[in-house]
Structure 1
Amino acid sequence: MLHEINWPHEYLPGTTDNFASNEVIIQGVTAAEAFDNLIDTAIWPTYYKNVADVEFDNTKGTKLAENTRFRFKTFGFPIEAEITEFEAPKGDQPGRLAWHGWAEGDAETRLDVI
């Protein structure tokens, strides 16, 4: 497995209006523990203060899973989202988690992110 982001062609860095990538290196936490924190939306506000009102369309509970459709607010903006990659870490292999998120608007104002 590659340890790089699988960018869909239309989102390749350098080809979009904006690009940002965040990385945090933490000690004393396994990849499985980090993954469990990322998929449990109930604890997102403990480490990301700009998230609110997480709701699921096709999954019960608070944990993301493969093909989950969900919505949340960030900075007060409503975002619709769908999981596009979901693979838990196994052994020495990293996990993969990605989603496509969007906010409605016209072609000039629509937010569309991976």
Structure 2
Amino acid sequence: MTARKKTTPRAKAPEPNLRHVWLAGLGVVAIARRRGAERLTTAKQDIERIARRAQATLRDVRTQGGAGVERFSADVEARLAPVLEKLGLGAGRPVPKGRRKPAVAKQARPTPRKRAGVARKAAARKRA
């Protein structure tokens, strides 16, 4: 005869109840909070690193900026000069008459109320 193995009865898994759901929810909240804190600190470090890079770049631009801007401006003007001359907007030519702004603004037209007042005054003068 072969010997039979003795098997121990398996323990039943407890059925989930409200306490289990509550504890599982607390675990999820704790894990999410921990991960969120870790992500927040890494994001803060990334932002600080980006800000330091931007400040360094700004310092470099300020030191080299004056001469660079003048060179860029001269280059743009040199490239646009032929185009502006073809359009008649070159530095040596006057602005065409159609494009000039009026020297004096036109007088505002009287409103209907003012016109009526003028008519009444004229009628009153005729009567007198």
The TM-score bracket by the shorter chain reads: under 0.3
TM-score (norm 2): 0.21
TM-score (norm 1): 0.23
| Higher relative contact order (Cα pairs below 8 Å, separated by 6+ residues) | 1
Bigger strand fraction: 1
